[in-house]
Structure 1
Amino acid sequence: MISKEQIAVEYKQIQDEICTALEATDGKARFEEELWERDGGGGGCTRVIQNGNIFEKGGVNFSAVHGQLPDSVKKALKVEQNDFFATGVSIVIHPNHPLVPIIHMNIRYFEMPSSFNREEPPVRWFGGGIDLTPHYVFDEDARYFHGQLKGVCDNFHTDFYQRFKVWADDYFYIKHRNETRGIGGIFYDRLTATDDIGWQDVFEFSKAVGRTFAPTYIELVKRNRNKAFNDAEQQWQYLRRSRYAEFNLVYDAGTKFGLETNGRIESILMSLPPTAKWIYDYHPEPGSEEERTLSLLKKGINWA
C-alpha cells in the first residue's frame, strides 16, 4: 500500500515541475515562496506568481496537513473518525489577457485511520480535476482542452472521462446565475480502489492529472497570448472574473474545507482574481462574442 508520506513527496515534486514550466512560459515573473505551518498539524508551501508578461496572478500551492476534524467537516464528509491527513496541490492562474483563459487544477489525497474497530481498513480516497474558464469560448481550444483530459482518463479507465466530465459540469455550476463557471473539464472525489482499478493505478491517475496541467495550459497560452485585444474585451474579462469569485466564495468545497480546518487564509483565497467587476444588470450586445460565450456556459456540451 502506498504511504501518505510517499503521496505527499510526489505531489510536492509535481508542484516543482509545474512552477518551473509556468515561469519559463511567462518569461518574466518568478514565483514567490512561503513555507507555513498549520496550527493543529502539518503545513505547506505557497507559491504565488504576479505581474508577469502573461500571468497577472496565480498560485501553485502544496499542503500536507493533519490533526482533528471539526464536527462540521465530519458531518459534511459523513465520517465518524476524528484524526485526518490531507495532502494536495491546488492551482489557479489568472492571465492578464482576456483571450487567455483562467485555469484551475487540484489533486488531493485524504485519509482517516479506523476508529473503534481496528480491524476495519482506514478511510482513504483521492480527488481532484482540472477545469477551464475562458473569458471568451473558442471552440477549437475547448475541443483541444477536453481532448487532452479524455486522453489522460482513457489511459486508466474507459468510463473515467464521461463520468468525471458530467461531475465537473454539475460541480462547477453557479446555481444563482444558472450558468457553468466555464467549459468544465473533469472533477472527481472519493476515488478509491475497486475490482477493476487498484490503489497504485488510482495514484498514478492522480499524478497523470497533475502532470497534464502544464503542457495543456501552456499550449492554450501560446495560442492566444499574442492576439490583439481592446478595452471592451478587458472589461468583459473583469466581469467573467467576478463570476469566478462568486463560485469560489459561495460553492467551492476546497475553500470551505480550508476555512473550517484552520487552513492558511492567504493560501485559501489565492484563487481570487486581482481585479474583478460587477456591473448592475449587465446584458451583452445581441450577436456579440460575449453573448455567444454566455450561450455556451451550460451543462452537457460534448466538447471531446
Structure 2
Amino acid sequence: MITKEEIAAAYQQIQDEICVSLEAADGAARFEEELWEREGGGGGRTRIIQNGSVLEKGGVNFSAVEGKLPDSVKKALKVEQSDFFATGVSIVMHPNHPMVPIIHMNIRYFEMPSSFDEGQPLRWFGGGIDLTPHYVIDEDARYFHQRLKTICDQFNADFYQRFKTWADDYFFIKHRNETRGIGGIFYDRLTATDELSWESIFEFSKALGRSFATTYTELIKRNRFKEFTPEQQEWQYVRRSRYAEFNLVYDAGTKFGLETNGRIESILMSLPPTAKWIYNHEPQSGSEEERTISLLKKNINWI
C-alpha cells in the first residue's frame, strides 16, 4: 500500500521541479522559501515569487499536516473520526501582463489514520487545475483543455469530461453568475475501485502536477511580449477582484486551511497583489472585455 510518507515525498519533488521551471520561464525573479511548523502537527514549505519579469506574485506551496479535525470540518467532510493527515501542493500565479492568464493548481491527499484500525480506511486524493484569463484567447483555451484531456485519457476515458464538468460547477462565482475563468478539471475524494488502483490514482495525481510547468510556460511564451494599454491593465485588475472574491467566499481549500489552524500567509498567498473593485463596472458593447465576460459560462466545449 502506498504510504502517506511516499506521497508527501513525491509532492515535495514536484514542488521542486515546478519552482525550477518557473524561475527559468520568468528569467529574473527567484523563489523565497519559508519553512513553517503547524501547531498541532506537521508543517510545510512556502515558496513565493514576486516582482519578476512576468510573474508579479505567485506561490508554490507544499504542506503535510496532521492533528485533530475541528467539529465544523468533521461535519463538512461527513466523518466521525478526528485524527487526520493531509498533504499537497498548491499553486497560484498572478502575472503582470493582462494577456498572460492567472493559473491555479492543487494536488492533495487526505487520510484519517485512526480509520485504518477499524477496517474501513478513509483516504482519498483530490486536486484540480484551472485557468483564469483576463482576456479569453481561444487558441490558448483549446491548448489548455487539450493538455488536460490528454493526461486524463491516459488513466480513464471518463476522467476529462467528468472532471471538467466538476470544475465548471466548482469554480463558479454564484453571486456574479459567472465562472472564475475557462475552467479546467477538478476532482475530490477519488478512491480506489475495481477498475482503478491506488497506484493509478497516485500516478494520475503526479502526472497532473508535472504537467503544470510545461503548460503554463507555453502560455507565458505565447503572450508575454504582446503590447497592452493602460485600459487593458485596468481590466486585469478588475478581473483579479473576481478571483479574490471566489477564493475568499467559496474556495474549500481556503476554508479548510483557516479552520484547521493553517498558516495564514500560505493560505492567502492566492490573493493578487493589486485588484480593483469599480462600482457597477460594465464593459463596452462589442469590446474584447465584453466578449471575455460572455465566455465565462459553464459547459463550453473548448476542444
Supply the distance in 2 between the matched residues of 1:54 and 1:194 (Cα, whole angstroms).
43
- The ranges of structure 1 where at least 4 consecutive aligned residues each deviate by more than 4 angstroms after the TM superposition are none
Alignment of 1:72-83 (within 5 A): 72-83=72-83
Supply the distance in 2 between the matched residues of 1:121 and 1:79 (Cα, whole angstroms).
12
Code of the aligned partner of 1:103 = I
The answer for the alignment partner of 2:129 in structure 1 is: 130
Deviations 1:192-234 (A, max 9, x none): 1111110000000000010011100100000000000000000
Alignment partner of 2:117: what SS?
Answer: coil
Asked whether the 8 Å contact 1:98–1:229 carries over to 2, the reply is yes
The answer for the alignment partner of 1:165 in structure 2 is: 164
Supply the distance in 1 between the matched residues of 2:263 and 2:119 (Cα, whole angstroms).
33
Supply the distance in 2 between the matched residues of 1:58 and 1:119 (Cα, whole angstroms).
41
Alignment partner of 1:30: what SS?
Answer: coil
Alignment partner of 2:124: what SS?
Answer: strand
The answer for the alignment partner of 1:219 in structure 2 is: 218
The answer for the alignment partner of 2:50 in structure 1 is: 50
Supply the distance in 2 between the matched residues of 1:31 and 1:98 (Cα, whole angstroms).
22
The answer for the alignment partner of 1:268 in structure 2 is: 267
Q: What's the offset of the Cα at 1:113?
A: 2.3
Asked whether the 8 Å contact 2:83–2:114 carries over to 1, the reply is no
Asked whether the 8 Å contact 2:59–2:269 carries over to 1, the reply is yes
Supply the distance in 1 between the matched residues of 2:29 and 2:114 (Cα, whole angstroms).
45
Q: What's the offset of the Cα at 1:120?
A: 1.5
Structure 2 residues without counterparts, runs of 5 or longer: none
Code of the aligned partner of 2:67 = G
Is 1:17 matched with 2:17? yes
Alignment partner of 1:80: what SS?
Answer: coil
Supply the distance in 1 between the matched residues of 2:120 and 2:66 (Cα, whole angstroms).
18
Q: What's the offset of the Cα at 1:119?
A: 4.0
The answer for the alignment partner of 1:175 in structure 2 is: 174
Code of the aligned partner of 1:232 = E
Supply the distance in 2 between the matched residues of 1:92 and 1:156 (Cα, whole angstroms).
25
Alignment of 1:1-304 (within 5 A): 1-115=1-115, 118-304=117-303
Code of the aligned partner of 1:63 = S
Code of the aligned partner of 2:190 = L
Supply the distance in 2 between the matched residues of 1:96 and 1:161 (Cα, whole angstroms).
30
Asked whether the 8 Å contact 2:14–2:209 carries over to 1, the reply is yes
Supply the distance in 2 between the matched residues of 1:169 and 1:257 (Cα, whole angstroms).
21
**TM-score using structure 1 length:** 0.99
Structure 1 residues without counterparts, runs of 5 or longer: none
Supply the distance in 1 between the matched residues of 2:114 and 2:89 (Cα, whole angstroms).
25
Q: Percent identity?
A: 80
Supply the distance in 1 between the matched residues of 2:139 and 2:185 (Cα, whole angstroms).
18
Supply the distance in 1 between the matched residues of 2:119 and 2:292 (Cα, whole angstroms).
50
Supply the distance in 2 between the matched residues of 1:107 and 1:113 (Cα, whole angstroms).
20
